[in-house]
Structure 1
C-alpha cells in the first residue's frame, strides 16, 4: 500500500455509525438550544436588543444548530449554513447565543477535521473567522452609541469600560475560533497518521509474508540443490561402474569384484550424506544445528579417484600457491567440480578427464575438461548447470560451461578472493602420470 503525499490524502467519509451519531448530536444540540431560548425568554435577558417574534426566534435557533446533523457528511456546506444563520440571528437580535456559539465552534472544527480539500478547508475557516470578527467590529460600531450612560456606573478599573468590554469580547472570540481551528487541524493530522500507520502495518505484513515465501522458496532450492549434488554424482558413478561390471562379469571376475566394491562404497557415501542432510531438516527450528558439511577443495582428489575407478583416464593438477579459502568458497568449488565430473560420467561418453585447481593472484579457479561429446549438452540447461550458476553467482564469481574448440566439454568457475589472502597452506597436488602436472608446470588445455 502506497501512502499518498500529506496534502493529497483525502480522509474517508464518515461511516454509517458516525452519521447516526451526528444525527443524535444535531438533534441534541437543537433541543438544548431551544431550552436555552426558553430560559432566555423567561428571564427577559435580551442582550442583543429587542428580540423578534417568537416563531422567528425558534426559526433562527433551529437554523443555527440543526445543520450539525450533516456535519461530517457535508462539512463545507454545514459550516457555511451555520455561519450565515449565526450572523443573521444576531443581526435580528435572536436571544439564544450560547448553544448557537457552540454550534458554530463545532462546524468550524468539523470542516477542519473532515474537509476533503485541505486548501479549501483552510481558506473557508479563515474566511468564516475573518467574517465573524468583521461582524463583531460592525456590532461594536453600531452599539457603541446606544450604550446607556449608567451601564458602567460601577466600573473602577484603570481601563476605560467600553474599551475593556471590546477587548474582552475580542479575546474571547480569539480563543473560541483559535481552538476550533487548532482542534480541527489536529484531528485531521491524527486521522492522517492513523492511516499511515495502518498502511505501514499492511506493508510490513505483506513484506513479512513475502520474506517468508522467499525463505521457503530459497530453502526448497537449497534442498533440491543439495539432493542433486549428493544423489546425482554417486548414482552416476554407480551406474557407470555397474555397466562396467556387467561387461566384464564373465571374463574378468576380479575387475567385476572391484567395480562392485566401488558401487558399494559410493552407495554408502551417498546414504551417509543424505542422512546428514535429512538430520538437519528434521531438527526443530529452535535448535542451533550445523548444516551438513559438504566437501571442500581438499576432497576434489576423491572425485578424480572415483572417475578413475569408473574407467576414465582422470588427472588432477593444482597450480599456484594454495591459500586457505573461506569454507563457503571451498565447498562451492567442490560442488561445481562434483557436478562437472558427474556430467562427464553421465553424458559425455568421454575417455579423458582433466581437473585443474588454480590459485591466482586475486581469485581461485576450478577447470574441468573432458574429450567427450560436447554437442549433446550444448542445447540443454539442466538443474545441475542452474545449480552451479547459482552457487557461483552467490560468491560474485563467473561460470563458463560449454563445448571446447577441438571437441570435448569445459566447465570453468572463478571465485574472487579478498585482497589480503591468508598464508599458503601447502600444496595439494595429486600425483599424475603427466610429468608436467607432477612438476607443477601447467600443460595447455
Structure 2
C-alpha cells in the first residue's frame, strides 16, 4: 500500500474541501434551527418572511453556488475565494431574516481566513483579515443607517471567531517557518560538518602519500650511486604518487569552500639513516609508513562489524576490481559505510546488500539496499530514515560527498519495499593509486 493511500483522509483533504463542508454544515444547521424537529413544540428560530418563498430559496441557492465556487478557488486563489465566501455569507443572511451575518454562515469564511493566514505572506494575510472584518462591520453599518435592527452581539461573536482563527493561522505559519529555518540551518551545518570531515580525510590521504614519497626518496638517495636502476624505480613511484595526490587535491579542494582550521597538520618524520650503507639496505625492514585511510578494501571488515550489530551484510563485486585514486576510494567507502549505518539504525531490516560495480571504466557504481523490516522483525529499529526516526542528515552528507566528486547520488524507497542508496562516482581515465 502506498504512503498516500495509507494517509488519513483528513490529511488528504484540501482546504477547499473543508470550506465547502463548513458551508454545507452551517447551512444545514441554519435550516434545522427553523424547523420543528421531533420532541419540540416549535422551531428554535422563527423563519423569515421569504425563507420558503421562491425568491428566498433562489438567494439560498445562489449563496451556496458562490460558497462552493469560493471553496474551489481556495487552493489556487485564496483572496478571490475569500471574496466569494463573504459574498455568500451576506447574501444568505437576507432570506433568513436575521439582523446580522449568522456565525454558521461564517464558518467557511473562518476556514479561508485560517488557510490564508497560515500559508500566505503577511501582507496578503493582513488584507484578508481587514476584508473579513470590513464586510461584517459594513453589513452592520448599512442596517444601522437604514434604520433597521442590527444584531451587534452576533456581529461581535462573528468578529471574535474570525480574529481567533486568524491568530491561530498566523501562529501556525510562524511555527512552520521556524521549523523550516531550523531544518535548513541543520542541513547547512550537516553539509559544513561533512566538508570538514572530507578535508580532514583528504589531509590524512595526503599525509599517507607524502609519507610514501618520503620513504621512496630516502631509499633512492641511499642507492642512487651503487644501484641506479633501483633509484630510477623509486623515482618513478614518487612521480606516480605525487601526480595522483595532486589530482586528488584538485578534485576535492577545488570544490570545498570551507577549510578545517581546527586540526593542525600532522608531521611525517623521515627516519635518520646512516649516510654510507651497502645496497643490501633494501632488504632490511623499512620504517612503517603512515596508516592508509580506509577504502573499498575495508568492505569485508565493515561487513563483519555490521554483522556483529545484528545486520548481515552481503558484499557483491561486479567486474574486475581496479586501482582507484585515494580520494575516490575513500569517498566510496564512506558512502557505503554511512548507508550501512542507516540500515542498522533506521530500517529495521536484518540484511542488506552492498554492490560495487567496476564494469564501466569511467564510473564506479555503488548500491546499498535493504528489504525493509520483515513481518516478525523487532520494532526497536523501525524508524523512517528521512523523517521521524532519524535526522536525515546522513543522506545530506553522502550527497555532498558525491557531489564534490561530480558524481550522481540517489536515495529512496524500493518499489518492492525497503530502501536503496545508489552513487556513481566518475573515475579519471588512466587513474592509478597514489
Using the size of structure 2 for normalisation, the TM-score is 0.43
- Which structure's residues are more often helix, by fraction? 1
